[in-house]
A and B are shown apart, each in its own frame.
Chain A
Amino acid sequence: MMARTLLAASTLSLPHVNYTAIMPELIALGGSLLLLAVAAVTPRRLPTTVYAAMTSGIGIASLVASLVLYHDVRQGGAFVAIAHSIDVDGFSVLVMTLASCVLILTPMLAAGFFEREGLGGCEYYALACISVGGAMLMGAANDLVLIFLALEVLSIPLYVMAGLDYRREGSGEAALKYFLLGAFSSAIFVYGIALVYGATGSTNLGEIAAFLAHNVLVANGVLYGGMALLIVGFGFKVAAVPFHMWTPDVYQGSPTPAVGFMASIAKVGGFAAFLRVFISTLPTLSQTWKPVLWVIVIITVLLGAIAALVQRDVKRMLAYSSINHAGFILLGLQAATAKGATGSLYYLFAYSLLILGSFGVIAVVGGRGDTGHSIERYRGLARRSPLLAGAFALLLLAQAGAPFTTGFFAKLYVVEAAVAAHSYALAAVAMVSAAIAAFFYLRVVFVMFADTRLAEAPAGDAALVQAAGAPAVSAVGASGSGVFEPAVAGGGGVLLAEAPVRLEEETATPEASATGEEIRDGAVSAWTWSGLILTVGATVVFGIWPQPLVDFAQHAHLLF
Chain B
Amino acid sequence: MSVSPTWYLVLAAVLFTVGAVGLLVRRNVLVMFMCIELMLNAANLTFVTYSRALNDVGGQSAVFFVLVVAAAEVVVGLGIIVSLFRRKFGATADDAHILKG
The interface bits of chain A over 46-81 (1 if a CB of B lies within 8 angstroms of the residue's CB, else 0) are 000000000000000000000000000000000000
B23→A184 contact, CB < 8 A: yes
Chain A residues with CB below 8 A from B72, complex form: 152, 156
Contact for A152 among B36, B47, B62, B69, CB less than 8 A: B69
B19→A187 contact, CB < 8 A: yes
Chain A residues with CB below 8 A from B55, complex form: 1, 5
Most chain A beta-carbon contacts within 10 A, residue among B66, B80, B84? B80
Stretch in A37-45, A189-197, A492-500 touching the partner: A189-197
B99→A193 contact, CB < 8 A: no
B87→A172 contact, CB < 8 A: yes
> 11 A–B contact pairs at CB < 8 A?
A1-B55, A160-B80, A166-B83, A174-B99, A175-B84, A176-B84, A179-B76, A180-B36, A188-B20, A198-B9, A249-B100
Within the complex, the shortest CB–CB distance from A162 to chain B, in Å, comes to 9
Which B residues have a C-beta under 8 Å from some C-beta of A?
9, 12, 16, 19-20, 23, 29, 32-33, 36, 39-40, 42-44, 46-47, 49-50, 52-62, 65-66, 69, 72-73, 76-77, 79-81, 83-84, 87-88, 93, 96-101
Within the complex, the shortest CB–CB distance from A102 to chain B, in Å, comes to 22
A318 to B5, CA, bound (A): 48
Chain A residues with CB below 8 A from B47, complex form: 194, 197
A188→B83 contact, CB < 8 A: no
A174 to B81, CA, bound (A): 11
Within the complex, the shortest CB–CB distance from B22 to chain A, in Å, comes to 11
A202 to B54, CA, bound (A): 10
Which A residues have a C-beta under 8 Å from some C-beta of B?
1-2, 5-6, 8-9, 145, 148-149, 152, 156, 159-160, 163, 166, 169-170, 172-177, 179-180, 183-184, 186-188, 190-191, 193-195, 197-198, 201-203, 248-250, 252-253, 311-313, 316
Task: Name the prevailing secondary structure of the A interface residues.
Answer: helix
B96→A184 contact, CB < 8 A: no
* Contacts A191-B42, A191-B46 given; does A313 touch B84 at CB 8 Å: no
Chain A residues with CB below 8 A from B56, complex form: 5, 201-202
A175 to B23, CA, bound (A): 17
Known pairs A173-B97, A194-B43 / 20 extra A-B pairs, C-beta < 8 Å = A1-B52, A9-B57, A145-B62, A145-B65, A148-B65, A152-B72, A174-B99, A176-B29, A176-B96, A183-B77, A184-B23, A191-B16, A191-B46, A198-B50, A198-B53, A202-B58, A203-B58, A248-B99, A252-B99, A316-B101
A193→B43 contact, CB < 8 A: yes
A194→B58 contact, CB < 8 A: no
Chain B residues with CB below 8 A from A160, complex form: 76, 79-80
Contact for B98 among A156, A173, A248, A313, CB less than 8 A: A173
A6→B57 contact, CB < 8 A: yes
A197→B59 contact, CB < 8 A: yes
B80→A159 contact, CB < 8 A: yes
Most chain B beta-carbon contacts within 10 A, residue among A1, A180, A193? A180
Chain A residues with CB below 8 A from B33, complex form: 180, 183
Contact for B69 among A149, A163, A198, CB less than 8 A: A149
A145 to B88, CA, bound (A): 39
Which 6 interchain pairs have the tightest Cβ spacing? A187-B39, A198-B50, A194-B46, A249-B99, A191-B43, A173-B96
Chain B residues with CB below 8 A from A183, complex form: 33, 36, 73, 77
A181 and chain B: residue at smallest CB distance: B23
Most chain B beta-carbon contacts within 10 A, residue among A6, A198, A248? A198
A190→B101 contact, CB < 8 A: no
Chain B residues with CB below 8 A from A187, complex form: 19-20, 36, 39-40, 43
Within the complex, the shortest CB–CB distance from B4 to chain A, in Å, comes to 14
B80→A163 contact, CB < 8 A: yes
B58→A197 contact, CB < 8 A: yes
Chain B residues with CB below 8 A from A177, complex form: 96, 99
A313→B73 contact, CB < 8 A: no
Chain A residues with CB below 8 A from B96, complex form: 173, 176-177
B40 and chain A: residue at smallest CB distance: A187
Chain B residues with CB below 8 A from A197, complex form: 47, 50, 58-59, 62
Most chain B beta-carbon contacts within 10 A, residue among A203, A253, A312? A203
Chain A residues with CB below 8 A from B20, complex form: 184, 187-188
A159 to B84, CA, bound (A): 13
Chain A residues with CB below 8 A from B36, complex form: 180, 183-184, 187
B66→A190 contact, CB < 8 A: yes
* Contacts A163-B83, A184-B23, A195-B46 given; does A152 touch B73 at CB 8 Å: yes
B84→A173 contact, CB < 8 A: yes
B76→A172 contact, CB < 8 A: no
Within the complex, the shortest CB–CB distance from B29 to chain A, in Å, comes to 7
A183 to B39, CA, bound (A): 10
Chain A residues with CB below 8 A from B100, complex form: 249
A193 to B80, CA, bound (A): 28
Most chain B beta-carbon contacts within 10 A, residue among A9, A148, A186, A312? A186
A177 to B72, CA, bound (A): 17
Chain B residues with CB below 8 A from A159, complex form: 76-77, 80
B16→A175 contact, CB < 8 A: no
A174 to B98, CA, bound (A): 9
Chain B residues with CB below 8 A from A170, complex form: 98-99
B41 and chain A: residue at smallest CB distance: A187
Chain B residues with CB below 8 A from A5, complex form: 55-57, 60
Within the complex, the shortest CB–CB distance from B26 to chain A, in Å, comes to 11
Most chain B beta-carbon contacts within 10 A, residue among A179, A187, A249? A187
Chain B residues with CB below 8 A from A195, complex form: 46
Chain A residues with CB below 8 A from B50, complex form: 194, 197-198
A163 to B83, CA, bound (A): 9
Chain B residues with CB below 8 A from A186, complex form: 40, 69, 73
B57→A156 contact, CB < 8 A: no
B77→A193 contact, CB < 8 A: no
B83→A148 contact, CB < 8 A: no
A182 and chain B: residue at smallest CB distance: B73
B43→A169 contact, CB < 8 A: no
